């Protein structure tokens, strides 16, 4: 059994609290939250039995040669060719090698961030992780701007940059990446078939514009390893969301992990509507079984960890 032993009753009781609403959701007031360092160390040790973020955060150049054929991680019958461009963008060594931080922020994309005023606090962390190339400039007061590590599902090219149909979409994209300087851009390119064109376009733009961003492409085993870890803790998650993947990876190199923008519910605790994303109008079927993710279950898990001092979840305003 996993050390955390998320019993069914723990999950169910947090379920009730969330459904009932009310500010009793968190056992501690934000000021009373305290890190439980021995639990942090224990979780890190346990996760290390399944994956090593330093290694699994990205494949490296020596893992492949151009022309190699690999099977998609979640779609084994389909294959992908490692192109010359992709190969040239694989890092020589892990971009997270020997990197350790006192405090890290993992920023999810929930609309709960709007009017939170959390920007300054987020930017004060030593290392800031963001998801899916979420825009920051227009929302700086609530989300901050520092981005040391940012993920990009291939579908972002279509969703946020019009599949580069217009020159202006391309320019907007190149501008966004150039703002990242030499931060890590993490592209899950080997998960499922469908995004390979997008990944190739992105790679070509990075090379053509000589962008400094440090590309990383998660290892073929990462998602299975992450799922395995949570399964042993009785959290049955078929496809961990980007946010949960980031928390799991961050346990390797951060002593204190603060989560913002995690709120996979259509309403806040006072019954006011909350946007799915803080920056677009995407609608999401939070509770649908058709969705590959189980964000509400993930949230409850993170909430249990918050109450035990393993991480800090912020879902309200930052003062």
CB of 110 to ligand CTP, least distance (A): 3
Angle at 317 between CA 314 and CA 319, to 5 degrees: 105
Distances in Å between the Cα of 214 and the Cα atoms of 63, 141, 185 are: 17, 26, 6
DSSP assignment letter at 273: B
**Closer CB to ligand CTP, residue 158 or residue 307?**
158
SS3 call for 78: strand
**What is the size of the binding site for ligand CTP (CB under 6 A)?**
18
d(CA 273, CA 135): 21
CB of 151 to ligand CTP, least distance (A): 7
d(CA 91, CA 52): 17
**Closer CB to ligand CTP, residue 100 or residue 285?**
285
Q: Is 286 exposed, middle or buried (0-12, 13-18, 19+ CB in 10 A)?
A: middle
Closest CA to 109 of 293, 305, 290, 249: 293
CB under 6 A: which stretch of 31-39, 175-183, 226-234, 238-246 binds ligand CTP? 238-246
DSSP assignment letter at 62: G
d(CA 293, CA 285): 10
| 150 counts as binding ligand CTP under rule CB under 6 A | no
**Closer CB to ligand CTP, residue 74 or residue 211?**
74
CB under 6 A: which stretch of 9-17, 69-77, 206-214, 236-244 binds ligand CTP? 236-244
Are β-strands 184-186 and 75-81 bridged in parallel, bridged antiparallel, or unpaired?
A: unpaired
Binding mask 244-263 for ligand CTP (x = CB under 6 A): x----------------xxx
Binding mask 41-70 for ligand CTP (x = CB under 6 A): ------------------------------
Restricted to residues 159-218, the positions that interact with ligand CTP (CB under 6 A) are none
Contact (Cβ atoms closer than 8 angstroms) between residue 154 and residue 187: yes
Phi-psi region of 22 (alpha: psi -120 to 50; beta: other; left: phi over 0): left
Restricted to residues 120-139, the positions that interact with ligand CTP (CB under 6 A) are 131-132
The answer to whether 293 is a known catalytic residue is yes
Contact with ligand CTP (CB under 6 A): which of 91, 95, 218, 264?
Answer: 264
Restricted to residues 6-25, the positions that interact with ligand CTP (CB under 6 A) are none
Contact with ligand CTP (CB under 6 A): which of 40, 201, 243, 279?
Answer: 243
CB of 267 to ligand CTP, least distance (A): 11
Contact with ligand CTP (CB under 6 A): which of 14, 153, 215, 248?
Answer: 153
Bridge partners (DSSP) listed for residue 149: 129, 184
Interface contacts to ligand CTP, rule CB under 6 A: 108-110, 131-132, 153, 241-244, 261-264, 276-277, 293, 295
Write out the catalytic residue numbers.
293
């Amino acid at each position: 059994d996993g050390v955390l032993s998320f019993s069914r009753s723990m999950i169910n009781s947090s379920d009730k609290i969330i459904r009932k609403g009310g500010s009793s959701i968190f056992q501690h007031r934000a000021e009373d939250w305290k890190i439980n360092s021995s639990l942090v160390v224990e979780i890190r040790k346990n996760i290390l039995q399944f994956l090593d973020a330093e290694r699994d955060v990205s494949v490296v150049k020596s893992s492949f040669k151009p022309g190699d054929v690999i099977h998609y991680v979640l779609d084994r019958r389909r294959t992908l060719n490692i192109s010359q461009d992709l190969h040239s963008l694989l890092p020589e060594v892990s971009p997270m090698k020997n990197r350790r931080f006192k405090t890290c922020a993992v920023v999810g994309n929930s609309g709960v961030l709007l009017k939170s005023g959390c920007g300054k606090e987020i930017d004060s962390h030593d290392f800031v992780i963001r998801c899916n190339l979420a825009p920051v400039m227009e929302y700086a007061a609530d989300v901050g701007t520092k981005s040391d590590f940012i993920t990009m599902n291939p579908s972002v090219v279509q969703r946020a940059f019009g599949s580069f149909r217009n020159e202006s979409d391309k320019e907007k994209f190149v501008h966004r990446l150039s703002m990242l300087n030499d931060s890590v851009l993490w592209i899950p390119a080997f998960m499922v078939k469908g995004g390979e064109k997008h990944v190739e376009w992105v790679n070509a733009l990075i090379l053509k514009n000589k962008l400094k961003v440090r590309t990383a492409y998660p290892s073929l085993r990462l998602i299975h390893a992450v799922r395995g870890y949570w399964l042993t803790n009785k959290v049955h998650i078929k496809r961990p969301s980007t946010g949960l993947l980031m928390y799991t990876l961050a346990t390797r190199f951060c002593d204190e992990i603060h989560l913002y923008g995690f709120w996979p519910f259509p309403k806040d605790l006072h019954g006011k509507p909350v946007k799915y994303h803080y920056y677009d109008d995407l609608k999401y079927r939070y509770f649908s079984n058709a969705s590959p993710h189980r964000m509400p279950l993930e949230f409850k898990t993170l909430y249990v960890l918050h109450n035990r001092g393993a991480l800090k979840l912020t879902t309200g305003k930052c003062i």
